[in-house]
Amino acid sequence: MPTFELTPAMMREIIMDHYSSPRHKVTPEGEGYETLHSSSINCIDDIDVFLKFDGNGKVKDACWNGTACAISTASSDILCDLLIGHDEKEAKYIIDQYRKMIHEEPYDSSVLEEALAFMNTGRQAARIHCALIGWDAVEEILKGHHHE
Amino acid sequence: MYDVYKIRNDFPMLREPQTMQGHPLVFLDNASTTFKPDRVLDAMDVYNRKETANSHRGDYDLCNKADRAVAKARESVARFLNAGVNEIVFTAGATSALNLVAYGYCLKVLKPGDEILISLAEHASNVLPWFRIASLTGAKVKYIPLSEGNRITVEAVKTALTPHTKFVSVAYVGNVLGYIAPIKEIAALAHANGAVLCVDGAQSTPHLKTDVKDLDCDFLAFSGHKFCAPTGTGALYGKYDLLCAMDPFETGGGMNVKFYPDGTATYLLPPMKFEAGTLNVAGIIGLGEAVEYVSSIGLEEISAHEHMLKAYAVEKLLATGMVDIYNADSEGGIVTFNVHGVFSQDFATYLNAQGIACRSGQHCAKMLNDVLCVPATVRASFYLYTTKEEIDALVEAVKHGGNFLDAYF
Ligand SMILES: Cc1ncc(COP(=O)(O)O)c(C=O)c1O
């Protein structure tokens, strides 16, 4: 559980900020990106995620692009922020903790930073998959990813 | 006098107040599915609790009762559409009825180079079967262009028909915008062109008086659950000689006369020829009751009520100055809109938080959004039991739409 009080106003501000000005919403031009498409039959969200690793197996760049609601936009964007600089194992841990939070199970809040703003998503059951759409895709990329 | 409050009393979902997210439920997603009145539920309950037996499978009284119940429902549906009783095939809904036409009729008659004509506003269930048939037969799917106001006009149909057009399929009422297509005129044009006309009646049958003889359409598909019948019910109307010329789509018990080890089989005549397997007897009984219920209120009266609600909703929503409406002038009880600056799905979630059920997205008509130039819309759709107060709740929510993230806090 988070060690500090994140007020609804703060959560709202974090989500609105990443929704109205996402930092990582771009289709990358460069080489070396692994990519995966993610969409859902239950909603409009339809996005691609892109991951690039450096020589040490750490995420060098993460971005996403597509049609998405506020929740999927902000959650995918915050995910990109969280991933950069982490290796595969750390990235998997972060995703795992986030998934637990969304499903209202005990989780390690210390790695989630701004992603804690989504702790109430369970109140809107229809939007749970929006909060996960980017995260599911990154997890799939990591599954198929072999690094030395 | 149309008494909407009295009508609401017929529906357990409305009579016993339901809540969603702690608010009284406001159900404005009737183009998706509808509630069921006591009459429908009770008739199904009697069959399930007291009169269960298979239809046409036995020599005893209960079985005979089930047979008669199915026959009675078929008569109700036939009367409802002004069709012959042998022209009504029970199906699992509009989708399965359209697929029956696709695989039973089109697959048999279409040849490479033939054209299937549909519009860009069609529901997936009136698009994808034709894509499949095109790929199986070598026929091509072509589109009737929509007019400036997103209607299907007689002029547009005229220009889209070619000597190769053999089959036309359009919705009588579109499920996103609710415009009525000029079916009678399209039927005349199609026939003069040597083509067959199939009508997707999923959104028209519940709301508009439908007379298949007057329309002179060749096929008409509809779903029961969009007019107070249970899910998994519906029917295909087909002109009897066309049904006779059609191949069965599903084969098996209940539709054959005889079959032999050498693989020869003879089938029953339509409509039974197309009803393989045990029927959805309870559902069909419910469908028959729903038809009688809706008829007892009157399709003209229901249309007028929806028309009044539509005008009211458009006026109130526009007065907020906060929405774009994409179908203000359409005839159906559907308002399709977006709140300025709010993504449709986020607004629908906000509505959910207020207890209001509306649909957001592309509403299964994924080709239409390119025409409207928006990725998605919010759709509020009305039915015989919808009230002005429910529309007021929607309008109130629109006024606070900018706070859409409130749904999460
Ligand atoms: C215009 C139209 N056609 C077809 C269908 C498919 O109906 P069903 O899903 O009941 O088979 C629908 C239902 O949404 C519809 O609105």
Q: What does the domain layout of chain A look like in residue ranges?
A: 8-143
Mean local confidence (pLDDT), B5-31: 97
Q: Domain A8-143 belongs to what architecture?
A: Alpha-Beta Complex (3.90)
At B409 the pLDDT is: 85
User: Any CB–CB contact under 8 A between B128 and chain A?
Assistant: no
Rg, C-alpha atoms of chain B: 22
Quick check: CB of B121 below 6 Å from ligand 1? no
Q: Residue B29 has what DSSP assignment?
A: B
Contact A126 B408 (CB under 8 A): no
- A20–chain B nearest CA distance, Å: 10
What is the per-residue pLDDT for B17? 86
Highest-scoring range by mean pLDDT, A44-58, B213-227, B350-364: B213-227
Residues 6+ apart with CB under 8 A from B47: B66, B69, B281, B282, B285
Using the Cβ of B336 and the Cβ atoms of chain A, whether some distance falls under 8 Å is answered with no
Ligand 1 geometric centre to CA of B61 (Å): 37
> Taking an 8 Å Cβ-Cβ cutoff, which residues of chain A contact chain B?
8, 11-12, 15-16, 43-45, 67-71, 120-121, 123-124, 126-127, 130
Alpha carbon of A121: minimum distance to chain B alpha carbons (Å) = 6
The H or E element containing residue B223 is strand B219-223
B363, pLDDT greater than 60: yes
pLDDT band at A4 (very low <50, low <70, confident <90, very high): low
Which of these CATH numbers, 3.90.1150.10, 3.30.1490.100, 3.40.50.300, 3.40.50.2300, describes B4-30+298-408?
Answer: 3.90.1150.10
Cα–ligand 1 centroid distance for B221 (angstroms): 9
Per-residue pLDDT reduced to its tens digit, B294-316? 999 999 999 999 999 999 999 99
- Give the C-alpha separation, A55 to B139, whole Å: 53
E strands, A54-133, are 59-67
Task: Determine the Cα–Cα distance for residues B258 and B276; give it in Å rounded to an integer.
Answer: 14
Contact B202 CB / ligand 1 (< 6 Å): yes
Give CA B94 to chain center in angstroms.
Answer: 6
- Crossing angle of helices A128-143 and A88-102, rounded to 10°: 160
- Residue nearest atom 14 of ligand 1, based on CA coordinates: B32
Distance between CA atoms of B106 and B124, rounded to whole angstroms?
Answer: 17
Please give the structure tokens belonging to residue B58: 């036995």
Q: Of residues B228, B244, B364, B373, which has the active-site annotation? A: B364
Which of A67, A68, A124 has the CB atom closest to B407's CB atom?
Answer: A124
Which of B346, B353, B362 shows the shortest C-beta gap to A69?
Answer: B346
For residue B364, indicate whether it is catalytic.
Answer: yes
For chain B, which residues make up each domain, given as ranges?
4-30+298-408, 41-296
DSSP-assigned letters across all residues of B334-349: EEEEEETTS-HHHHHH
Closest residue by Cα to residue B27 from B342, B316, B352: B352
Ligand 1 centroid – CA A69 distance (Å): 25
Q: What is the pLDDT of residue A148?
A: 41
pLDDT of the residue at B56: 82
Place of tokens 């991933």: A83
Q: Whole-angstrom Cα distance, residue B242 to residue B87?
A: 9
Assess whether pLDDT exceeds 70 at residue A146.
no
Judge if the beta carbon of residue B201 lies within 6 A of ligand 1. Answer: no
Cβ–ligand 1 contact at B123 (below 6 Å)? yes
Tell me, using a 6 A CB cutoff, whether residue B200 lines ligand 1.
yes
Whether residue B242 contacts residue B50, with contact meaning beta carbons closer than 8 Å, is answered with no
Residue A44, pLDDT score? 84
Mean pLDDT, chain B, rounded, equals: 96
Using a 6 Å cutoff on CB, does residue B91 contact ligand 1? no
Do the Cβ atoms of B353 and A67 come within 8 Å? no
Per the CB < 8 Å rule, is B408 touching A11? Answer: yes
d(CA B248, CA B208): 30
- CA–centroid distance, B334 to ligand 1, in Å, is 15
Tell me how far the alpha carbon of residue B207 lies from the centroid of ligand 1, in angstroms. Answer: 14
**A86 pLDDT above the threshold of 70:** yes
Q: How many CB pairs under 8 A join A and B?
A: 50
> What digits encode the pLDDT tens for the residues B319-357?
999 999 999 999 999 999 999 999 999 999 999 999 999
DSSP state, residue A51: E
> Is residue B94 in contact with ligand 1, taking CB distance under 6 Å?
yes
Q: How confident is the model at residue A43 (pLDDT cuts 50, 70, 90)?
A: confident
Residue given tokens 């005979």 in the structure block:
B64
- Does residue B404 belong to the interface with chain A, where contact is any CB pair within 8 Å? yes
Is it the case that residue A2 has pLDDT exceeding 60? no
User: Could you tell me which CATH number the domain at B41-296 has?
Assistant: 3.40.640.10
From the list A71, A121, A124, the residue facing B353 with the nearest CB is: A124
- Mark yes or no for CB contact B345/A69 under 8 Å: yes
Residue A147 has pLDDT above 80, yes or no: no
Of the CA atoms within 13 Å of residue B129, those in its CB half-sphere come to 26
Report phi then psi at B370, rounded to 5: -65, -35
**Residue B223 alpha carbon to ligand 1 centre in Å:** 7
- Which atom in ligand 1 lies closest to the alpha carbon of residue B234? 10
Given a cut of 90, whether residue A5 has pLDDT beyond it is no
Residue with token string 């991951």: A51
Q: Which residue of A has its CA nearest to B405?
A: A12
Residue B261 has pLDDT above 50, yes or no: yes
What pLDDT band is residue B402 in, cutting at 50, 70 and 90?
confident
Average pLDDT over residues B250-254: 94
pLDDT (average), residues A125-139: 94
Q: Identify whether the C-beta of residue A40 lies closer than 8 Å to the C-beta of residue A47.
A: no
pLDDT tens sequence across B63-108: 999 999 999 999 999 999 999 999 999 999 999 999 999 999 999 9
